[in-house]
Amino acid sequence: MKKRTIIDYLGITVGSFLIALALTVFLVPNRIAAGGVSGLATVIYYITSFPIGITMLIINIPLFLAGLKIMGTSFGIRTIYGIISLSVFTDLLQPQMTALTDDLLLASIYGGVVGGIGLGIVFRSRGTTGGTDMIASLINYFTGITVGEGLLIADGVVVVLAGIFFNLEVALYAAVTIFITSQTIDVVQEGLNFKKGVLIISDKADEINQMVVNDLNRGITEFEAKGGYTGNRKQVLLCIISRSEVSELKKAVAKIDEEAFVIISNVHEVLGEGFTEIAH
């Protein structure tokens, strides 16, 4: 447990550093206020010249205390550590770093990617840097609006402020950064090792079962289902395969049963025997 805790705090530290790096070399120099507390701090910085890190800390502390009082200890010590780490790294890096590009598109893309990697690492380390997720949780608590909608509102307000105090073009690039950040977070948390989940409904389920096991060397799960329209009972097969095996599976199923009903969907992460070991 102690080793895991040390690794988690190391992850929060590294992630916070990457977020600060994204802010100081891509986003802040190009006035891209990409939502949340950091985006609001960027707007305030250009209006008052007040340090971004300190501004984030000032905004985050009351949010943390409100969340702690209302939502309980779920925010925890990791949150306050993430808040302080991000604030300190940002104010330490800003005087030392210069913008890597003045191209708004490049800045919004790379700022989103680097920041998203940092946030993903923080989240995987069971931490948070405060900001938007706390705001969204408080909005949810007081209004009943979902956390996802709360996130959209919180980020949207900051983007609108950027449009008012900077210009519409910068606000649009901020929206691009928010989208890229969210996608990058998903990649970091779920990994790039995408698989395909396949559901097969067929009157020849036994033959298809044997084909998957023997020819593709994949495990398969079989369960019984009932048609909602016909009331007929059929066997449903579920298996997880790699992307390269999709074409082979479709051809093999069609050869066995041309009337089979096949559903193929993306699976972002598969844990268990034959795939990724479940982390404790």
- Going across the sheet that includes 195-202, the strands are 221-226, 233-241, 195-202, 261-267
Q: Which amino acid is at 234?
A: K
Q: By C-alpha distance, which of 224, 236, 240, 237 is closest to 272? A: 240
pLDDT above 70 as % of the chain: 89
Q: By C-alpha distance, which of 17, 33, 29, 25 is closest to 169? A: 33
Domains of the chain (ranges; CATH) run: 3-190 (no CATH), 195-266 (3.30.70.120)
pLDDT in tens, 157-180: 888 988 999 889 999 999 999 889
Give how far Cα 269 sits from Cα of 146, 196, 197, 242, Å.
25, 10, 10, 11
Euclidean distance between CA atoms 110 and 23, whole angstroms = 10
Spell out the per-residue pLDDT of the chain, length 280, in tens.
Answer: 688 888 999 999 999 999 999 999 999 999 999 888 899 999 999 999 999 999 999 998 888 887 777 666 655 788 889 999 999 999 999 998 889 999 999 999 999 999 999 988 988 888 888 777 677 767 767 787 765 567 778 888 888 988 999 889 999 999 999 889 888 887 887 666 678 889 999 888 889 989 888 888 888 888 888 777 777 888 889 998 888 788 888 988 999 988 888 999 888 766 666 666 655 5
Q: Given this model, what pLDDT does residue 71 score?
A: 61
pLDDT in tens, 190-207: 666 678 889 999 888 889
- What letter does residue 227 receive in the DSSP assignment? -
Euclidean distance between CA atoms 42 and 119, whole angstroms = 18
Q: Given this model, what pLDDT does residue 223 score?
A: 87
Euclidean distance between CA atoms 104 and 31, whole angstroms = 9
Give how far Cα 55 sits from Cα of 24, 50, 76, 88, 192, Å.
14, 7, 21, 11, 35
pLDDT in tens, 23-59: 999 999 999 998 888 999 999 999 999 999 999 999 9
Cα 54-55-59 angle, rounded to 5 deg: 115
Q: Given this model, what pLDDT does residue 182 score?
A: 83
Q: Given this model, what pLDDT does residue 30 score?
A: 94
Strand partners, 198: 239, 264
Question: What are the φ and ψ backbone dihedral angles of 270, each rounded to 5 degrees?
Answer: -125, 120
- Kindly state the tokens that stand for 106: 């490049």
